[in-house]
Amino acid sequence: MFRPRIIPVLLLKNKGLVKSVNFKNHRYIGDPINAVRIFNDLKADEIVFLDILASKEGRMISLDFVSKVGEEANMPFAVGGGIAKIEDIKKVIAAGAEKVIINSHALNLKFIREAADTFGSSTIVVCMDVKKKLFGKKQTWTMAGEKANGYNPVDFGRIMQDNGAGELIVQSIEQDGIMRGYDIPLIKAVSEAVTIPVIALGGAGNISHMKQAYTDTYANGLAAGSMFVYHGPRKGVLINYPDFNELRSIAK
């Protein structure tokens, strides 16, 4: 029996844990290190932290924070936010992260190639943020969804793969925080176009959404934010993770 990786994706803003809807209206959730401790106890497969202000502010994710996560986390973890240079990756890996996530600087193809050659493709994850532009065509965006990069998701995914990225996170901005299910056509289109692992993100609200994404697409991993930090129809804050039986229900 094989099941996909189930991955909490947590957003950082001003050192706090936040959650967004359509990349806006960020709500404070709590202390990120406390969340790591809870996910340890819940035996999460892995965890992702994204600093949503880093690129806009011309800096990278705090190395002190990465080190604190490295000291606490029992599971593999990846981090992203303003990573733009080989030296940035060296520092993040030295601080304890297994992977780096690149978004706003992914179109620097020389950087992606050099990073893959230096650290191995499995260390380099590219996150593509996707939403519709004029006339309903889906485009990939950078800078927390504020700047279109000119590529549709399928072409962008192929370019990243061809230049050495070892994994893609495919995130729907329009589904972010809605909790009504993934953008299945988007995830499927990118997954069919590449051979590297694809992680679905954006819209998951329950196990059924995850099972549908795994059944109907070729995603290798299923990620979520709201699903792992909210509980109940009023969205009370509660860090949670699927139990053994729920995880088994996703498996093929």
Is the pTM here over 0.85, yes or no?
yes
Q: Which residue segment(s) compose the domain that 182 sits in?
A: 5-250
CATH (domain of 226): 3.20.20.70
Count of structural domains within the chain: 1
Per residue of the chain (252 residues), what is the pLDDT tens digit?
578 999 999 999 998 999 999 999 999 999 999 999 999 999 999 999 999 999 999 999 999 999 999 999 999 999 999 999 999 999 999 999 999 999 999 999 999 999 999 999 999 999 999 999 877 889 999 988 888 888 999 999 999 999 999 999 999 999 999 999 999 999 999 999 999 999 999 999 999 999 999 999 989 999 999 999 999 888 999 999 999 999 999 986
| Nearest partner of 139 among 169, 101, 171, judged by Cα | 171
The residues with which 222 forms a beta bridge, in sequence order, are 6, 200
Distances (CA, A) of 83 to 31, 60, 169: 23, 5, 16
| Nearest partner of 69 among 53, 92, 52, judged by Cα | 92
pLDDT at 147: 87
pLDDT at 135: 75
pLDDT at 1: 57
Long-range CB pairs of 209-212 (<8 Å, 24+ gap) are: 209/180, 209/181, 209/182, 210/4, 210/6, 210/250, 211/249, 211/250, 212/181, 212/182, 212/184
pLDDT at 233: 84
Active site residues: 129
138-142 and 124-132 strand pairing = antiparallel
